[in-house]
Amino acid sequence: MKKYTKHDYPLEQIRRHLETGPIVLVSSAWKGETNIMTMGWHMMMEFTPALFGCIISNANHSFELIRKSGECVINVPTADLAEAVVGVGNCTGGKIDKFEKFELTKAPAKIVNAPMIAECYANFECRLYDGSRIEKYNFFVWEVVKAHVAPAVKHPKTIHYKGEGEFRVAGDTIDLAGKFKPEYL
Amino acid sequence: MKKYTKHDYPLEQIRRHLETGPIVLVSSAWKGETNIMTMGWHMMMEFTPALFGCIISNANHSFELIRKSGECVINVPTADLAEAVVGVGNCTGGKIDKFEKFELTKAPAKIVNAPMIAECYANFECRLYDGSRIEKYNFFVWEVVKAHVAPAVKHPKTIHYKGEGEFRVAGDTIDLAGKFKPEYL
């Protein structure tokens, strides 16, 4: 699978890769163990600080790695990784190494200990910002502290889960910037 | 603009229309005033009850209508409505009637007082479930109490905002159900 060359990316612009609602891979590390999970329940919450909220069910093996470390990386896959994305979501990391099984490559992050996934065109390093609703909703509020995006990827074919095993692939781009007030762009 | 014939839709399946991350129109009503806003920062939070979280900036005229009524309707537009979606997002409801200006039609909801938008293929009636993080993050947790979806629409061309005036249109559907464990479908 293709690995991407990435550049640092402005934190206040990460919505460009997350607000469209792609399925993401969440990578984590705790006490020498690493894992990956597939996640679709997430949203942008603030530009600065760059806040990102998500639901991580406590039924996931990753839950404790993420909760205890207070860190993760949000990795954005594209359609070429769809089978790996489904595979990652349909097995548990308790017994297997998902990086090995799905031929995904760990790349060291700059700030957090969780690994980045080299085959994803965008990686967002996250530190826990607010854990006060983990117990009630499995809801984590993250601050994205470092962003890495492949500049060569202009129109990523992200995949968007719609349940029942089906995804929509991001299609045409429509540019309506001319209809916006400048201050809303 | 086309108006849709809709049927009641199972609440536990609303993720099929929201998890992909489309831009939505939020309609509201309070003391005889109605309004619409455009919103992209949202996520599914639970299947049952059907919980849906979103950020509604207090800079929006709709904020007080929504907060005071504790209700709204989440309406899912498709690409044919893209210019109206942008128009709604680029003006304020304080002085104008956005339904009239953008030729959108109010349809009565079944449970809440906020109107549904007839030109959107899916409408989700919401009651405030948890307002404890409104002050801190403008974060609302909604319980979807009634869902209406047009059964004729199989692959809605939803639009997904990526900032800077650009949207991605939902494209191909890929079906990987055969790769899922049955209990994960």
pLDDT in tens, B3-24: 999 999 999 999 999 999 999 9
Query: How far is the alpha carbon of A112 from chain B, nearest alpha carbon, in Å?
Result: 25
Query: How far is the alpha carbon of B37 from chain A, nearest alpha carbon, in Å?
Result: 13
User: What does the pLDDT look like over B167-181, one tens digit per residue?
Assistant: 999 999 999 999 999
Q: Please name the member of A20, A54, A141 whose beta carbon is closest to the beta carbon of B160.
A: A20
A174·B82 Cβ contact <8 A: yes
**Is A158 inside a domain boundary?**
yes
> What is the 3-class SS of chain B, one letter each residue?
CCCCCCEECCHHHCHHHHCCCCCEEEEEEECCEEEEEEECCEEEEECCCCEEEEECCCCCCHHHHHHHHCEEEEEECEHHHHHHHHHHHCCCCCCCCHHHHCCCCEECCCCCCCCEECCCCEEEEEEEEECCCHHHHCEEEEEEEEEEECCCCCCCCEEEECCCCEEEEEEEEEECHHHCCHHHC
Domain residues for A126? 7-184
**Is B114 inside a domain boundary?**
yes
CATH code, domain with A166: 2.30.110.10
Q: Which residues of B touch A92 (CB under 8 A)?
A: none
B176·A44 Cβ contact <8 A: no
**Is B2 inside a domain boundary?**
no
User: Does the predicted interface ipTM exceed a cut of 0.95?
Assistant: yes
**Is B112 inside a domain boundary?**
yes
Q: What total number of domains does chain A contain?
A: 1
User: What does the pLDDT look like over B25-58, one tens digit per residue?
Assistant: 999 999 999 999 999 999 999 999 999 999 999 9
**Is A2 inside a domain boundary?**
no
Does the beta carbon of B182 lie under 8 angstroms from any beta carbon of chain A?
Answer: no
Q: Taking the model in full, what pTM does it have?
A: 0.97
